[in-house]
Amino acid sequence: MTRPHAAMWMLEVAGGAAGVVVGAAREIVSHAPHRIQVLEPGGERRLLYVRAESGLEEAFRALEAGALRSVRIDFDGGEMDWLLLFTPHFDGDPSPWWSLVAQQQGSADPLRAFRTASRRPGLRFAALTADESLDDLPARVDAGSFPWDHPDLVVAAVWDDTGAVTARLGPYLLPSRT
């Protein structure tokens, strides 16, 4: 069976500390032209992002300090479409610091972004999916609870508390058994 081509690649990373996820975002953002929007506490229910009055580093610092709940970066051309950063417990459920990046299919090598992000020490997981992000992950992701069978999973890596990594290809790239 031939797999359909993804319209969009999704890169997700999560970490136990703000600096880990914000650091991965810094590497991805680099010097690409972008616009910044922020979500202040209380705006989560309606996802009411507003244009940031300050620059990227100021938005990152405010997010780390708890003055913001999320930062959205929209890119003006280039490899990425947008990047979202979320604080823990963003939607009320227990969760780690988390980031999601969308990249149009054909614009660049999605595995390059995965490799770049997954080199960050302190990550809990990094995952590349086709078209859809992973849903309903537990607050404490480990190799045993990770959704390795998610149909859109391309590749993922999960780290334990000692730094040991479990990495696997997902079903999206594996030959179908049907």
The pLDDT tens digits for 76-134 are: 877 778 888 888 877 666 678 878 888 765 555 677 777 877 787 888 899 999 888 88
Model confidence at 1, pLDDT cuts 50, 70, 90, reads very low
Bridge-partner residues for 34, per DSSP? Answer: 75
Distance CA 113, CA 79 (A): 10
Instruction: Judge whether 1 lies within some domain.
Output: no
Q: How many domains does the chain have?
A: 1
Instruction: Judge whether 175 lies within some domain.
Output: no
Instruction: Judge whether 174 lies within some domain.
Output: no
Instruction: Judge whether 141 lies within some domain.
Output: yes
Instruction: Judge whether 3 lies within some domain.
Output: no
**Which residue range is the domain that position 20 belongs to?**
8-169
Instruction: Please report which residue ranges of the chain form alpha helices under DSSP H.
Output: 18-29, 56-65, 110-118
Amino acid at 87: T
Instruction: Judge whether 88 lies within some domain.
Output: yes
Instruction: Judge whether 177 lies within some domain.
Output: no
Query: pLDDT averaged over the chain?
Result: 82
62 CB burial (10 A radius; 0-12, 13-18, 19+): middle
Please say if the pLDDT value at position 2 is more than 50.
no
Instruction: Judge whether 127 lies within some domain.
Output: yes
The pLDDT tens digits for 39-89 are: 988 766 677 899 998 888 899 999 889 899 899 998 887 777 888 888 887
Whole-prediction pTM: 0.82
